[in-house]
Chain A
Amino acid sequence: MEKCQFCGRPATVHMTQVVNNKTTVIRMCNECAAKHGLFDKEGLPFAMLSGLGEALFSGMKQNLSASGLICSKCGCTPMSFKETGRLGCPHCYKDLKLLIDGIIESSQKGTIHKGKYSREGTMAATTPPNDSFTDTSTKRHPRKLSTEEKLNELQGMLDAAVKAEQYEEAARLRDEIKTLKGSKGVS
């Protein structure tokens, strides 16, 4: 199950926002959603009541600074990142995921690492055949992915499919992930 991006509990609210053709998915648990003003006391989403999706989005943006998002290891916050342009420590990639995914989306084309793997010894597979830099027509041997890498890739594709609202594709990917996880013995 997806986790709340703010507190890590199981997410029950999945909000997809489209602003200037950019789609952002935010996942939250009920409590965090309420904290951010996305639900009223009866549990009805305000967005649906008022239809003010954009107003909510600007609310979310402010909340990114004021949401209490903070790295538990080094204390880096979205504010300090804004000031220095640098993250505090490797753990920031976990605790400030919401911030980082936003930056990655605007600065990078991909969202999943496809290069060298550290300490896994997979480098041989990513090293190109001798002539691939000189002969542009040479096809690279496809790399064999470990189950974990494959899962990561599928998860990324699933996220992308959800973002693009291609639900049939998303369902297919979800099933594939399930099967793969089953075969790996992961619950």
Chain B
Amino acid sequence: MNDFAKKLFQDSKLVKETIPVVVSSRIRLARNLADFKFVKYACKGDLHAVAERCEKVLASCPIFTNSTILNMGDLLDHEKLALVERHLCSQEFIMEANESKLFFTDDHLTSIMINEEDHLRMQVFRPDLNFKTMFDKINAIDDHVSENLNIAFDNRYGFLTACPTNVGTGMRASVMLHLPALVITKQIGNLILAVQKLGFVVRGLFGEGSEAQGNFFQISNQQTLGFAEVDILSRLTQIIRSIIDYELNAREIVKKEKIIWLYDNIGRALGILRGCYCLTPTDAINCISLMMLAVDLGYLPNMLRGDLQQVMMKIQSSHIQVLENKVLNTSERDIKRAELLREFFSTVPNLKFD
């Protein structure tokens, strides 16, 4: 394993202490330096100066004592993509990576993109639903940043961002949810519409522009202006809590009305994971989603929940290439993915249906 792989595969706290339905939550703040053009319009020299200033300030922030700093320009394509798969940075961030830098802590719970769409995109993650703790954490980083850098701010518009859809708080909060029963009972469409009506957005596994895979959905706030951070976060928490209740109710309905279907699908999925020799990412994620449901319903031991999330992370296309330390084509990846899954699921105990 090379150094990059070690940093990437070090135990992420994000997959420990997990709870049913909620996969992870995130708060992101967008900030810009007042004295520079926004990233899209800035020249190389400006971007370099922005990166240098930000790096200096962030390096002195106590939270980054044990952390990694990457120059995105130095990385290979699959290495950059693996960071996206880990949600440590965005797809947009790796497109033009010349003067971009990425900070992330060893526990993978805090990351900062320098020179993404905005000069600073700061994110904190948690494996559960606890915005209070996350907000305190990101707020402390933001205080440190704004004490040491001249941040673009306007009394009326709030924090100024490259796109007016982020202006104000500059905050985007999101929760990744695992909602298999709402998909099975076909209630998910109505739920998405209802959430959108409340001013929140539903997206797939990788945020903007991505499709829902394996029953995973990301819910985030749309509006950033006109509400205090705390109001946005408590509204989102309320919405998430009710979605969790809907999902848990739907699971009861599935258990009552479709129990044979459920046993059959979960049983087959485990069969595939134990016996596959070539598996696409989508098939793999769909099977793992059913294993997560099996854990939640008590058919598999509870302690497996975190391991399943860890495996789901590892079998993504770019993670496989980082692990193998070379570029692989699609079918080579599918074969390697199947190998990793067979290995892991051979250690998983048999299903215990009620």
Contact = CB atoms under 8 A, between A and B. Distances in A.
A123 interface: yes
Contact of B163 (A87, A116, A123, A155): A87
B37 A115 contact: no
B224 A116 contact: no
Contacts of B225: 104, 108-113
A167 interface: no
A61 interface: no
A173 B259 CA distance: 63
Interface string B135-158: 110010011001100011111111
B40 A84 contact: yes
Contacts of A113: 154-159, 167-169, 225-226
B51 interface: no
Contacts of B142: 116
Interface string B218-236: 0000011111111101100
A123 to B, nearest CB: 6
A112 B224 CA distance: 10
Interface string A108-127: 11111111111100010011
Nearest to A102: B164
A74 to B, nearest CB: 5
B146 A119 contact: yes
B164 A104 contact: yes
B352 interface: no
Nearest to B155: A152
Interface stretch (A8-16, A40-48, A132-140, A175-183): A132-140
A68 B302 CA distance: 64
Contacts of A73: 37
B34 interface: yes
Given A93-B160, A100-B164, A110 B227 contact: yes
A100 B162 CA distance: 11
Interface in B278-295: none
A24 to B, nearest CB: 16
Nearest to A138: B234
Nearest to B233: A133
Interface of A: 73-74, 76, 84-90, 93, 100, 103-104, 107-119, 123, 126-128, 130, 132-134, 136, 140, 143, 148-149, 152, 155-156
Interface of B: 32, 34, 36-41, 117, 130-132, 135-136, 139, 142-143, 146-147, 151-160, 162-165, 167-169, 171, 199, 223-231, 233-234, 237-238
